[in-house]
Amino acid sequence: MSTDRTKQLYQELVLDHNKNPRNFREMPDANHIAHGNNPLCGDKLTVFLHIDASQTVTDVSFKGDGCAISKASASMMTAAIKGKSIAEAEQLFHEFHDMSMGRLDLTKDPHHLGKLAVFSGVRDLPARVKCATLAWHTLDAAIKGEEIITTE
């Protein structure tokens, strides 16, 4: 986070998505489900996907408990991938993960992260990287048909 404005935006987005998470619900007609666990922080969540025959994410939701960063990241992830193809969702997963690990330079590298870029500061907080990426790893597991993922 290089500026006070960026920090303020980060705080506002995280607080908003933590207090009012988007797509926070179980999905009875999900055809892909995965459970994620971050034992270090205590975050636990389930990602529900409905993927149609054309390999498009027609619906996505999550349920669970976690810290503000984990919940906000999951909320913003669901909003970002709804309506995307599996290939586009996987691309966002890889870009988000690389950004969180400090391997994606948002000022130089092309990316599709948009508002998700506010999480770029977690790269400086190693314990929070797992919080921010848990939902994304769980999404990746759900797409691949894996039922359980852990950050350990």
DSSP 22: T
Q: Is 102 left (phi over 0), alpha (psi -120 to 50) or beta?
A: left
Interval 18-43: pLDDT, tens: 999 999 999 999 999 999 999 988 99
Q: Residues 6 or more apart from 25 whose CB is under 8 A from it?
A: 61, 63
Interval 80-139: pLDDT, tens: 999 999 999 999 999 999 999 999 988 888 889 999 998 998 998 888 999 999 999 999
pTM: 0.92
Instruction: Provide the domain limits for residue 88.
Output: 4-150
CB atoms within 10 A of CB 130: 21
Q: What is the domain count for the chain?
A: 1
Indicate which CATH number applies to the domain containing 146.
Answer: 3.90.1010.10
